[in-house]
Each structure stands twice: as C-alpha cells, then as structure tokens.
Amino acid sequence: MNVSAAKVILTEEDILSIAKDYLKIEGLDIENINIQEIITVSGTYKKKINTAFEIKLGLGSIKNNIINLKIFDLKIYKLKVIKSVKNIAVKKILENFVSYGINVNGDNINIDLNLAVKLIPYFNLKLTRIETLPNALKIEAENIKYEKEKKFPHIDKKKNPLILNGYHKFRKKILHKVPSKYEKIVEYGMLVPDIIVLFWRLLKDKRVSLKVKIILTALTAYLASPIDILPDFIPFVGKIDDISIAFFALNIIIDEIPEKIIMDNWQGEENIVSITKEAVNYITEILGGKNVSKILEQIRNIFKSHPINNCEN
C-alpha cells in the first residue's frame, strides 16, 4: 500500500510509546517527553552505569529527509552541564548511535531519516514538515509505503566504522586545530563529564565519609556553574578553569578515599587515579606557578566553608 502524503498529530504519549516499543537502542531508556516550543527528553542511558539525563531540544529545518535539532540544555544527574563540556558530553552519549543516523556537530544534532526510518516497523516514508504544538507534534510526510514484511537491518556496532571512528574524528578535528603544546588539555577535557559523574556517584557511596561528601557537594555545585578565573588563552579550547579545577580537586579527593572506591565508581576504562596525577603535573607545567596558585586558591575557597580537617567522619 502506498500513500502519496499524510498529516498526523502525535501526542507526547504517542511518541513515548513509539520510542519504547520500537526504538531499540541498547542501554537507552526514554522515560518522559515534554513538548512545548522546546522539546524536553529525559531518561537514562546505561553504559557500565546508569546515567540519568535531561536534554532540551529545538526543532530546526528538514531537508533531504534530515532533521536538524538544536541542543539548548543538557543535564546529567540533574546537574546542568557547563557549556565548555556540554558538546563533549553529548558527543560521548551519542557516539554509539551514529549507525542509527544520529550525528552531533557542536550544539546541533542531525537525524538522517533515510537511515533511521529503516528502524521503524512496517513503514517507509519521507518527512516534509514537523511543527511543535502544546504537548504534541504535527507531522507531514509523503511517499508513505506500507510493507508488512519489512525487515530490520542488522547493525553490527563493533564493526561499523562510523561508530568506531565517529568520536575519534571529532577528537582528531579538535586536536588538529589546537597547538601541539595544548593537545593533552583536550584529552583531559573530554574526561570532565565523567569526573562530574564520578563525584555524583561517590556522594551516593556509603563507604565515603561524610566529610568527603561535603567537599564533593561543593565541588559538584561549582563544576555545574563555574566562575572564570583564568584568561581565555588556548585557541579552540577556551577557558580551562573547569578542567584544571576538576583534576586538582579530584587529586585531593583521591588522597582522602581508597583507590578501590574511586575505581568502583569510575565509569571509564582508564585508570583515573593515574591519569589525575599525570593531568595535575601537565596542567602545572602548562599554566605556570601564578595560574596554578589561582586554581589552588579557588579550590581553597570552595573548601573554606567545609574544610576536611574540621568535618567528622
């Protein structure tokens, strides 16, 4: 059966039901969709650990069956992600979805329906227009074909070169633009979202003492809305306050918590304890004594109201 064109209104409940029934992406659980002028999607994504997220999106253009979305806000574990690491966080979350037609470019998400539509059962179609309504989407499509025996494509994530190379291309592109002196800053910066998650997980770990949890609370709040204390002197990377403070602060936390607890809560494959020591030495060398003093002073200010030595276990 073929239909030349059609218009349909899908409510939030309709879209959520479709996502849960047919969007079979390993580890992804979409729990809620709110549609106004801005579309808010929340849920969890599990890759080693469950990561709660909330993302606010704006609809852009549709051209050649490609939907363009704008990322306005991202929260992980209910914490607003700082602008300097938001793009990296989104890139990491979506890097496994390249084969589903989902690509990230800065604050923009492009969904190639020529590929994504293959995952929709029974129908093939071309979207021509999407409009947001209160709690619903108005969708216009053409060339709608009903195929009862439509087969789902097999997507081998481990072998798909787009998945293997998507994130590495992003990393390579940034590194190509950054002076070689600062390349490692990019590498360390890509770990900051994971460090924020680490702080949050340590807050919930019963093995971590109250005194350390008080410090973790202050650090997490700071990283959610940092104050700029260093000049914007690294081309294409920008201010590195959040990167520097994340690693210097984590270095202090590592001295207060057994390494096993740190590694139990770390979601990455890297040894974050060793990397933190390397990062502190590298950042110290790059920034110089004067700027490192500013970083340490800022950390002292964060700790000042709840000093570790004055807190009880």
For residues 139 and 143, which has the higher predicted lDDT (pLDDT)?
139
Helix (H, G, I), strand (E, B) or coil at 35: strand
Calculated CA dihedral for residues 98, 86, 72, 78, nearest 10 degrees: 110
Task: Give pLDDT, residue 175.
Answer: 47
Q: Which two tokens stand for residue 289?
A: 């004594």
Cα separation, 78 vs 286, whole angstroms:
33
Q: Give tens-digit pLDDT for 272-309.
A: 999 999 999 988 887 777 777 877 777 777 666 554 44
B/e letters for 83-94, b = 16+ CB within 10 Å, e = fewer, are: ebbbbbbbbbbb
Report, as an integer, the average pLDDT of 117-124: 60
Q: 78 in the Ramachandran plot: left (φ > 0), alpha (ψ -120 to 50) or beta?
A: left
pLDDT at 152 over 60: no
Residue 185 in tokens: 């800053």
Rounded to whole angstroms, how far apart are CA atoms 243 and 12?
38
Question: Does residue 115 carry a pLDDT above 50?
Answer: yes
**Model confidence, pTM:** 0.51
Q: How far apart are CA 244 and CA 82, in angstroms?
A: 14
Edge-first strand listing for the sheet containing 136-146: 2-11, 136-146, 123-133
Percentage of the chain exceeding pLDDT 70: 63
The residue-averaged pLDDT of 10-38 equals 85
**Are the C-beta atoms of 43 and 29 separated by less than 8 Å?**
yes
Selection from 107, 84, 110 nearest residue 97 by Cα: 110
Q: How far apart are CA 155 and CA 26, in angstroms?
A: 12
- Kindly report, residue by residue over 196-233, the tens digit of the pLDDT: 888 888 988 899 998 888 888 777 766 655 444 444 44
Reduced to 3 states (helix: H, G, I; strand: E, B; else coil), residue 42 is: strand
pLDDT per residue as tens digits for the range 58-90 = 998 888 888 999 888 877 765 555 555 555 556
Instruction: Tell me which of 143 and 14 has the higher pLDDT.
Output: 14
Query: For residue 164, is pLDDT > 50?
Result: no
What's the pLDDT score for residue 191? 80
Separation of alpha carbons 9 and 106, rounded Å: 30
How many Å apart are CA 244 and CA 284, to the nearest integer?
9
Residue 262's pLDDT band (cuts 50, 70, 90): very high
Q: Which two tokens stand for residue 257?
A: 């918590």
Distance separating alpha carbons of residues 223 and 194, to the nearest angstrom: 12
Between CA 73 and CA 224 the distance in angstroms is 12
